[in-house]
Amino acid sequence: MQAFRASLLRFADDSAALFEPDGLLVIGPDACGRQVVRAAGNYKALAGDFAGVGIEHLPGRILAPGFIDLHVHFPQIDVIGSPADGLLPWLENFTFPHEARFANADYAESMASVFLDELRRHGVTTALTFCTSHPASVDALLSESQRRGLRMIAGKVLQDRHSPDGVRDDTEQSLVDTEALIGRWHGRGRLGYAITPRFAPSCTEAQLRGAGELAARHGDVWIQSHVAENKDEVRWARELFPDARSYLAVYEGFGLLRERAIYAHCIHFDDDDRALMRDTGAAAAVSPTSNLFLGSGFFDYEGARRIGFRHGLASDVGGGTSFSPFHTMLAAYYVGREGQTKPGLSLQPQNLWWQHTAGAAQALGLGGVIGNLQPGCEADFLVLDPKATPLLARKTANARSLDELLFSLIVLGDDRVIERVVVDGVAWRPPYNRRQEFPR
Ligand code: GUN
Ligand code: ZN
C-alpha cells in the first residue's frame, strides 16, 4: 500500500466537490489485484488505521483525480492550430491529408508515444480517442497504452465516402476490421474499444448500419462520433439523410445512440435532440477550444441542463487548441458566460472540474471506476502544485474558498501545475524541476 498526506479533492455522487485541506489518500491492491483507492478522507481521522504504512507528506500540494478527455484525435497532434474557414475546409485541407500518413505503421507507433506523453504531461489519465481509418493506428495507440498501464479507449475511424484516397476505407472490410479490433483490444487490461463512425456525412448507410449491428452485438463497447458541430455540416447531413428528423436522429436510426455512446459537439440541437440524448443515455463531449477555434458555435449548457442529458469536457485536439484540461475548463467558462442565449451562465469551478473528471467518467459509464478518489476507484491521480508559477502562488495563497482556489488554477494553470501523475498506482514525474525557477 502507498499513502499520501496532502490536500485532497474528490467528488460526491451528486457532483459536489469534497475538499480536505489536510487529507490522506491510501492506494493498494483490491481483492482482484487492481490498484485502487483503499481510503480517502481527513488525515487525522484516518491516519491511525494505517499506522504500518509509510505516509508520504506533500505539504502545500493537492491530490486530485486524473483528468478524463472525452474526445480527442490521436493522429491530429500536428494539426493543432491549422486555421481554416470552418470545419469542412479544415478537414479537407489539413486533417485528411495528415491522417493519411498513419497508413505507415512505424509513423503511427512513433506518434502514439508523442500523444501519450502529451496527455500525461497535462494530467490526462484516460481519453476516448479517435485513431485513423487504418487499423494499425489502433494497434499502435493501444499497445503503447497497455505498456503504460493506461485506461484508454480508442477506435478505428469508419469513413467509406466523401473522403479522399489515403483515408477512405472499404465498407465491408472496415466492419470486419472493427470486429477484429474489438476482439483484440476491448477489455484487455484496462483498455476499451469504441466503434467510431467519423460522422454521418463520411459514412454510407451500409457502413452506419454495420456499425449499429456491431454496437448491438457488443453492448459494452463504446461508440464515438461527431454531431451538429457546424452549420454547413448540419446542412450537408440533412441533404444526405432527408428522411431523418434531425442530424442526431440519423444515428438513432442506425442503433448508434445508447449508453456508452459519446457524441462530440452537440451544438446545433433543438430540444427534441436534447431529449433524445437524455432518453437514450448518450452523452455529449463538449469541446470548447475546438468550437472557438473553428468558429463552430457554442454548446448550450442551459439547454443541456434544462433537458438533462449527460455531458463532459474534451480537448478535441487537433480542432481543439490544447491538451490542457485547465485551458479547456477556462474555454468552457467563456462559453457559459458569452455563448448562451442571455443571460450568460457562470459555470462554477467545481462543476467545470467535475465535467473533466467524475462527470466525464459518468458519461463513459465508468462512474465509481475512474475520475474520482473515492474508495474503490482506480488509482489514477495527480499531485498538483498550486504554487507552480509566481502568479499562481500569489493567487492561491490568497484564496478564501475552494471556488477561489479552483478558479485560480483553471484561469492560470497549465502543465506546470502537474507535479506528478500516478497511473495504476505507478508514479511519473516531469523530467524538469520548476521549483528552482523562483524563490518561495
Ligand atoms: N467531424 C468529422 N471529423 C472531424 C474531426 O476530425 N474533427 C472535428 N472537430 N470534427 C469532425
Ligand atoms: Zn473531433
Convert the pLDDT of each residue in 229-243 to its tens digit. 999 999 999 999 999
**Residue 270 grid coordinates:** 433543438
| Same domain, yes or no: 61 and 71 | no
| Same domain, yes or no: 178 and 278 | yes
Query: Residue 98: inside a domain, yes or no?
Result: yes
| Same domain, yes or no: 213 and 256 | yes
Ligand 1 atom with least separation from CA of 316: 9
| Same domain, yes or no: 121 and 178 | yes
Query: Residue 311: inside a domain, yes or no?
Result: yes
The span from the first CA to the last CA of the chain, in angstroms, equals 32
Query: Residue 436: inside a domain, yes or no?
Result: no
Residue 325 has pLDDT above 70, yes or no: yes
Of 363, 383, 418, the position where a domain reaches its end is 363
Q: Which ligand is nearest to the CA of 75?
A: 1
Predicted local distance difference test score (pLDDT) of residue 339:
83
Distance from Cα 214 to the centre of ligand 2, integer Å: 21
Ligand 1 atom with least separation from CA of 130: 6
pLDDT tens by residue, 40-81:
999 999 999 999 999 999 999 999 999 999 999 999 999 999
Query: Residue 439: inside a domain, yes or no?
Result: no
Predicted local distance difference test score (pLDDT) of residue 32:
93
Residue 436 has pLDDT above 60, yes or no: no
| Same domain, yes or no: 202 and 351 | yes
Beta bridge partners of 56: 4
Distance from Cα 290 to the centre of ligand 2, integer Å: 8
Query: Residue 93: inside a domain, yes or no?
Result: yes
- 87 in contact with ligand 1, CB cutoff 6 A: yes
Predicted local distance difference test score (pLDDT) of residue 440:
52
pLDDT tens by residue, 242-251:
999 999 999 9
Residue 13 has pLDDT above 60, yes or no: yes
Q: Alpha-carbon distance 259 to 281, whole Å? A: 5
Average pLDDT, the chain: 96
pLDDT tens by residue, 179-224:
999 999 999 999 999 999 999 999 999 999 999 999 999 999 999 9
Instruction: Give how many domains the chain has, as a whole number.
Output: 2
- 316 in contact with ligand 1, CB cutoff 6 A: yes
Burial 28-63 (b: 16+ CB within 10 A, else e): beeeeeebbbbbbbebeebbeebeebebeebeebbb
List the domain range (segments joined by +) for residue 81: 67-363
| Same domain, yes or no: 186 and 237 | yes
Q: Is the omega angle on the peptide bond into residue 439 within 30 degrees of 0, that is, cis? A: no
| Same domain, yes or no: 50 and 100 | no
Of 363, 380, 397, the position where a domain reaches its end is 363
Predicted local distance difference test score (pLDDT) of residue 178:
99
Average pLDDT over residues 282-307: 97
Distance from Cα 319 to the centre of ligand 1, integer Å: 7
Residue 90 has pLDDT above 80, yes or no: yes
Predicted local distance difference test score (pLDDT) of residue 345:
85
Distance from Cα 68 to the centre of ligand 1, integer Å: 19
**Residue 169 grid coordinates:** 476505407
pLDDT tens by residue, 326-336:
999 999 999 99
Q: Are 282 and 258 in contact (CB under 8 A)?
A: yes
